[in-house]
Amino acid sequence: MASIFWVEDQSHWIKKFSPILEAEDFDGHSTELAIYHFAEAARQKIALTDKGSPPDVALLDARMNGNDQAGFTVSNALRRKWPGLPIIYLSEHAGTDIERAALEQFSATDFIAKHQHNVEQVLCWRIRAVLRQVSIDSDVSTTQDVITSGELTIDLNSWNVYWKGQRLMNPSNARRPLAPTPRKLLRELVASSPRPLTAGQVAGRLDSDAERFSYASYRQHIKTLRRAFAVVDESFAELCSSGQGIVTFGDEGAYCWVPAGKVK
């Protein structure tokens, strides 16, 4: 059974698409729709849902109840809970800065314009394609308890981080584990890969105050991470300089995670 987590504030769109989605055979079984009219209600549901019971795909409106950021707040909550969850935007704002932000800043899997010819079929085609892609191994694989990307492993239960099988520790005190914020930041970089994240985007994903989580803070955490990697692998700095590992992204004050063996 394909489960779809859908956030849409306009009833006429729900009436238009619900029967089609419920009748469509995505995986040989009936489709389960969980529909939310408000971003706040959707975020509350995400918070209360067991981490081991993710939906198969999220379908989000972008601009809801007059708020251009409403869909993005839901996207951030979904990514924090289930980093690998496919997120498709179904929006009236295709071709605008909203679509650009969804794809470039919020790691959208797809963006579908509501006002296009044959949109009902297009929506079903895209969902089916996303579900098929999920079943194919990717560079970053996510299970309930572990995220892996190349030689990197993040244990989501203990929050321990391993590089080439060795646990990363606090680079200033090898007897203490890596601090929570660098670990969580690394997780967000891996989940967003290969898209870069700015300080503002990371602040949103970590539910941090954007003014307190400045670019200077971001850069300091990146330095901490790189030093921690270098303790167990002296070649890590060279790896980063070659465009892999934790990579500085242009002049935009952003960083991204590029798995070893991949070129940015």
CATH 3.10.129.10 holds for 2-134: no
Residue 57 CA, distance from chain mean position: 12
Asked if 27 and 6 count as a contact pair (C-beta separation under 8 A), the reply is: no
Could you state, in order of their start, the residue ranges of all structural domains in the chain?
2-134, 141-258
Residue 221 amino acid letter: H
Which residues touch 244 (CB under 8 Å, ≥6 apart)?
258, 259, 260, 261, 262, 263, 264
pLDDT in tens, the chain (264 residues): 689 999 999 999 999 999 999 888 886 667 889 999 999 999 999 999 998 899 999 999 988 988 888 899 999 889 888 877 899 999 988 888 889 888 877 778 899 999 888 899 999 999 988 887 765 444 445 555 788 898 899 988 778 899 988 889 999 988 888 999 999 999 999 988 888 998 888 888 887 776 678 888 999 999 999 999 999 999 999 999 999 999 998 766 899 999 876 544
Tally the residues of the chain. Answer: 264
For the whole prediction, is pTM greater than 0.75? no
**Integer Cα distance of 183 and 191 in angstroms:** 12
The CATH number of 141-258, from 3.30.1200.10, 1.10.10.10, 3.40.190.10, 3.40.50.300, is: 1.10.10.10
The CA angle 165-256-39, to the nearest 5 degrees, is 105
Among the listed residues 87, 56, 60, 80, the one whose alpha carbon sits nearest the alpha carbon of residue 71: 60
